[in-house]
Amino acid sequence: MPSHTFSVNGESVTVDAPDDMPLLWVLRDLLGVRGPKYGCGIDVCKACTSHLDGEAVNPCVVPVSEAGGREVTTIEGLADGERLHPVQEAWLEQDVAQCGYCQPGQIMAAVALLRRTDAPSDEDIDAIANVCRCGTYFRIREAIKKAAEAMR
């Protein structure tokens, strides 16, 4: 079985897994990192959104072999110790979550967006395209704008 070494939330990990095993499976089932959620497994719902070297990816369609030597960040790695990331703070302030299932992915997508632009337009935010079955899109938009303000 091939072995893969990469970083998850700042810690080096080595896993034995087939090259084509989806990174989401490795995170959730082999490493017990369950923040990234399984929704569709085919790159549509984006409930699994995490970061690979700081960019948003959907690990349900990233083979673990692609993570080798790279840095994976999940919702668990976003806070700085006890201090939440400004996007997480804005999420709480705006009371965004309903059932919560899509929310780790929404937050990770929002953080990646705010790395690309510090003043996202409504169109930029809508382009995230993470699905929320509870329809929290309006509050997501408000929270991203609040977080952008706080981070400028």
Size of interface with ligand FES, in residues (CB under 6 A): 23
* Nearest distance, CB of residue 11 and ligand FES, angstroms: 23
Measured distance CA(27)–CA(8) in Å, rounded? 9
Q: Select from 49, 144, 149 the least CA-distant residue to 105.
A: 49
Q: Select from 103, 101, 43, 97 the least CA-distant residue to 78.
A: 103
Binding status of residue 50 toward ligand FES by CB under 6 A: no
Q: Which stretch binds ligand FES (CB under 6 A): 36-44, 74-82, 83-91, 143-151?
A: 36-44
The one among 40, 65, 142, 151 contacting ligand FES by CB under 6 A:
40
Measured distance CA(125)–CA(94) in Å, rounded? 16
Q: Which stretch binds ligand FES (CB under 6 A): 13-21, 41-49, 65-73, 142-150?
A: 41-49
Which residue number, 85 or 139, has a Cβ lying nearer to ligand FES?
139
* Nearest distance, CB of residue 57 and ligand FES, angstroms: 9
Describe the chain by its helix, strand, coil percentages, rounded to 5. Answer: 40, 15, 45
Is the CB of residue 40 less than 8 Å from the CB of residue 28? no
> Which residues bind to ligand FES, rule: CB under 6 A?
38-41, 43-48, 58, 60, 97-103, 132-134, 136
